[in-house]
Structure 1
Amino acid sequence: MAKSPGLKQVFKAVFGAFVGVQSEQQRQQDFETTSIWPYLMAGVFAVVIFIGILLLLVSWVLPA
């Protein structure tokens, strides 16, 4: 039984998935973990930050 992933491993996996590049070893390690919740929470956090950055860029480029 695999141990819970660390914060660094979770954000590394989420960033790799977000960008679309990840090593096979990292992917296998991610799928051996026991819980999906850390990855879901980090993924939601990453998407919220990404959308916030996009909104800031659009409001900067297209002033109202």
Structure 2
Amino acid sequence: MSSDKHEKPSFMAVVLSVIAAFFGVQTERNRQRDFSAGKPIHYILIGIVLAIIFVVGLMGLVSLVLPDSP
């Protein structure tokens, strides 16, 4: 367990942590790992990218569902 505190989280672990944080279901263990070994800039950048993907996806979904109005 003590080796987990000094081991950097992988890219996928960071992405999954950000997604879990979006939904508010982050585990305490992962949160502790993120705060002790992760770099904040990685989480911020991935959070911004995922937020942009989410907004663009919603805009695309709305444009598919709603008909074009003149």
| Alignment partners' CA distance in 1, 2:47 and 2:38 | 17
Structure 2 counterparts to residues 21-36 of structure 1, below 5 A:
21-36=25-40
Q: Which 5+ residue runs of structure 2 have no aligned equivalent?
A: none
Unaligned runs of 5+ in 1: none
> In the alignment, which residue of structure 2 is the partner of 1:41?
45
Pairwise CA RMSD: 1.5
Residue of structure 1 in register with 2:13 after alignment: 9
What's the CA shift for 1:5? 2.5
| Higher relative contact order, structure no. (Cα contacts within 8 Å, ≥ 6 residues apart) | 1
- Computing the radius of gyration over CA atoms, which structure comes out larger, 1 or 2? 2
Instruction: Please give the secondary structure, in 2, of the residue aligned with 1:39.
Output: helix
Give identity over the alignment, percent: 38
What secondary structure, in the 3-state scheme, does the structure 2 residue paired with 1:32 have? Answer: helix
Higher helix share: 2
CA distance in 1, matches of 2:29, 2:38: 17
User: What is the rounded CA distance, in whole Å, between the counterparts of 1:12 and 1:18 in structure 2?
Assistant: 10
Read off the aligned partner of 2:58 and give its amino acid letter. L
One-letter amino acid matched to 1:19: F
Provide the TM-score with structure 1 as the length reference: 0.87
Q: Given the alignment, which residue of 39, 54, 64 partners 1:60?
A: 64
- The answer (yes or no) to whether the contact 1:2–1:34 under 8 Å persists in 2 is no
